[in-house]
Amino acid sequence: MSKLRVQRFCLSLDGYGAGAGQSRQDPVGVGGERLHEWMFPTRTWHRMTGEEGGATGVDDQFLVEATDGIGATIMGRNMFGPVRGPWSSDPSWSGWWGPNPPYHHPVFVLTHEPRESIPMEGGTVFHFVTDGIESALEQAVKAAGGQDVAVAGGVSTVKQYLRAGLVDSLHLPIVPVLLGRGERLLDEPFPGYECTYFASSDTVTHVRLERVRS
């Protein structure tokens, strides 16, 4: 059976998954890009960006795990891009990732604004889901063909799946920066999850939470 996994969802020390003021200039909010800098020296990141070499170790292992066995992804519309309200304000927008996004499988974008699916190079197809998180999950599980489904973000989307008790596991890299403002993830009780693993590198502490099965 497919599992629903939150992978590589970075949090600041004060609990934010994005800074305040998301925009085209600051996709992760002001200062939020610092949440992702720990990935840049790794071998996996180097491969993704066409560079040689890169560091192995715990950071790299978690990046490998992040995509391993994932057959479909779900994300919120704010993670997909900066367009708010009707798509007609920028009908050409097709995500942050250029013509060949790094997913290479179907991606289901939660939104209140209907839109035709967008096939991209490399196998990624963005589908826009307007009838809620359960519908997105049902479609993603079907599309994943027996593999797991990832909830990529952002904060509001991860929270909705946590509230519904649908997430099987979360990998949360805790990054030693303070954002002060923005979108917080764990600011309400999410009963039924426990920490099953943590490990630190020089730059970040990796925490894994799993749903406790009764």
Ligand X SMILES: NC(=O)c1ccc[n+]([C@@H]2O[C@H](COP(=O)([O-])OP(=O)(O)OC[C@H]3O[C@@H](n4cnc5c(N)ncnc54)[C@H](OP(=O)(O)O)[C@@H]3O)[C@@H](O)[C@H]2O)c1
Q: Do 171 and 66 contact (CB within 8 A), yes or no?
A: yes
In sequence order, what E strands does the chain have?
A: 4-6, 11-12, 16-18, 70-76, 106-110, 118-119, 125-129, 148-153, 169-175, 183-184, 193-200, 205-211
Using CB under 6 A as the binding rule, whether residue 213 contacts ligand X is answered as no
Using CB under 6 A as the binding rule, whether residue 65 contacts ligand X is answered as no
| Residue 46 CB partners (closer than 8 Å, separation 6+) | 52, 53, 54
Using CB under 6 A as the binding rule, whether residue 18 contacts ligand X is answered as yes
Please state the closest distance from residue 145 (CB atom) to ligand X, in A.
Answer: 24
Q: How far is CA 211 from CA 28, 158, 165, in A?
A: 27, 14, 8
Among the listed residues 70, 155, 167, 177, the single contact to ligand X using CB under 6 A: 155
Q: Which is nearer to ligand X, 53 or 105 (CB)?
A: 105
Among the listed residues 39, 107, 110, 170, the single contact to ligand X using CB under 6 A: 110
Q: How far is CA 172 from CA 16, 36, 132, 199, in A?
A: 11, 12, 24, 11
Among positions 21-60, residues that touch ligand X (CB under 6 A) are: 22, 27-29, 32, 35
Please state the closest distance from residue 131 (CB atom) to ligand X, in A.
Answer: 8
Count, residues near ligand X per rule CB under 6 A: 29
Using CB under 6 A as the binding rule, whether residue 69 contacts ligand X is answered as no
Please state the closest distance from residue 175 (CB atom) to ligand X, in A.
Answer: 9
Using CB under 6 A as the binding rule, whether residue 79 contacts ligand X is answered as yes
Q: In the bound complex, which residue of the shown chain has the CB atom lying closest to ligand X?
A: 154
Please state the closest distance from residue 3 (CB atom) to ligand X, in A.
Answer: 19
Using CB under 6 A as the binding rule, whether residue 113 contacts ligand X is answered as yes
Using CB under 6 A as the binding rule, whether residue 101 contacts ligand X is answered as no
Q: Do 102 and 112 contact (CB within 8 A), yes or no?
A: no
Residue 197's DSSP bridge partners are: 208
Please state the closest distance from residue 47 (CB atom) to ligand X, in A.
Answer: 19
Residue 29's CB: how many other CB atoms inside 10 A? 22
Alpha helices in the chain (DSSP H): 43-48, 58-67, 77-80, 133-144, 155-163
Main-chain phi, psi angles of 158, to 5 degrees: -60, -45
Among the listed residues 14, 21, 84, 89, the single contact to ligand X using CB under 6 A: 84
Q: Where does this chain bind ligand X (CB under 6 A)?
A: 9-10, 17-18, 22, 27-29, 32, 35, 76-79, 84, 110-113, 132-133, 152-157, 160, 183
